[in-house]
């Protein structure tokens, strides 16, 4: 089996596509279970990977028949069958390569999704600590799981959300200025919240929290100024529940300075405040 050329090309095509897709799918699943953040529906892969493998095998079989027919037409009816190990060797390398590519893809994705600060202009002080100061206002939900979007007015800006591939765009509906936030680590976006801060000194700022899927436990926290320049952006391991308010403005009663609190209901919140604020 798999030693005759071109006689075994249909079987080779079926095994090549079917086994490679199956190896890729199962390796990606098990690597995700071991090193990643599998989704709540990940176990469905045990059902669908074989189905897709069979469909791929059928496609490979048809392609094999086509290639064999073209081969024989080109070589002529007197062309003798050749015995070779090339088909078996190619199949083995292809299956191992597919499995390796799947594992590498998951590892690279998780590396890209690791929590980290992506942009820091030095304008804000960032710290994790409990916070119980006075609530000034909560954030507005600009996008939710029902795909409802709303705009937000802050300072002299009127902002709206746009979604493009693996990024979220915050665009001014009047001037056209925009800020972009990369979101491939979130898989898909569950909600987007935003709230402006009014400081006695310094520029007006808007904080945006983009939350990904529930089991992904990732979110993007970004702060933009009135010119839509991103002054701070962090990819965080989400530490608040999706149903909770992710973002609030708080301030000390003794001062008029306001600051951002990400995860306000948590034991330790992410505090973002301007450096010139007391």
pLDDT digits (tens, 9 = 90+) for 86-145: 999 999 999 999 999 999 999 999 999 999 999 999 999 999 999 888 899 999 999 988
Q: What is the pLDDT of residue 114?
A: 94
Cβ-proximal residues to 186 (8 Å cutoff; 6+ apart), any chain: 210, 211, 212, 213, 216, 218, 219, 220
pLDDT digits (tens, 9 = 90+) for 140-162: 999 988 878 888 988 888 999 99
Task: Report how far apart, in Å, the C-alpha atoms of 102 and of each of 3, 20, 215 are.
Answer: 28, 10, 21
Question: Count of residues for the chain?
Answer: 278
- CA pair distance 48, 53, nearest whole angstrom: 8
53-64 CB burial, b ≥16 within 10 A, e <16: beebbeebbebb
- CA pair distance 102, 20, nearest whole angstrom: 10
pLDDT reading at 56 higher than 60: yes
- CA pair distance 138, 119, nearest whole angstrom: 24
Matching residue, tokens 């009816």:
77
Q: What is the pLDDT of residue 64?
A: 94
Q: Give me the mean pLDDT over the 15-20 stretch.
A: 96
**Residue 227 and residue 238 in contact, taking contact as beta carbons nearer than 8 Å:** no
- CA pair distance 91, 246, nearest whole angstrom: 50
Phi, psi of 154 (to 5 degrees): -155, 130
147: alpha, beta or left? (left if phi > 0; alpha if psi -120 to 50): left
Give the predicted TM-score (pTM) of the model.
0.83
């Amino acid at each position: 089996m798999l030693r005759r050329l071109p006689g075994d090309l249909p079987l080779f095509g079926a095994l090549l596509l079917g086994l490679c897709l199956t190896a890729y799918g199962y390796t990606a699943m098990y690597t995700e279970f071991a090193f990643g953040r599998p989704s709540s529906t990940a176990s469905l892969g045990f059902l669908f990977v074989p189905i897709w493998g069979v469909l791929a095998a059928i496609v490979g079989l048809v392609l094999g028949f086509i290639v064999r027919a073209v081969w024989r037409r080109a070589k002529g009816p007197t062309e003798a069958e050749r015995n070779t190990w090339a088909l078996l060797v190619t199949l083995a390398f292809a299956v191992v390569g597919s499995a390796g590519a799947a594992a590498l893809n998951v590892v690279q994705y998780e590396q890209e999704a690791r929590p980290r600060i992506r942009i820091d202009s030095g304008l804000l002080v960032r710290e994790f600590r409990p916070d119980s100061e006075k609530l000034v206002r909560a954030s507005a939900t600009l996008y939710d799981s029902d795909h409802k979007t709303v705009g937000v007015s802050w300072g002299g800006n009127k902002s709206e959300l746009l979604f493009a591939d693996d990024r979220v765009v915050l665009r001014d509906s009047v001037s056209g200025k925009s800020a972009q936030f990369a979101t491939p680590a979130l898989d898909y976006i569950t909600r987007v919240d935003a709230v402006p801060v009014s400081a006695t000194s310094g520029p007006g700022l808007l904080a945006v929290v983009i939350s990904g899927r529930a089991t992904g436990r990732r979110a993007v926290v970004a702060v933009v100024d009135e010119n839509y320049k991103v002054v701070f952006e962090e990819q965080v391991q989400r530490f608040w529940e999706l149903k909770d308010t992710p973002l609030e403005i708080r301030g000390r009663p003794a001062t008029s300075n306001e600051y951002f609190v990400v995860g306000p209901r948590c034991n330790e919140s992410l505090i973002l405040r301007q450096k010139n604020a007391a």
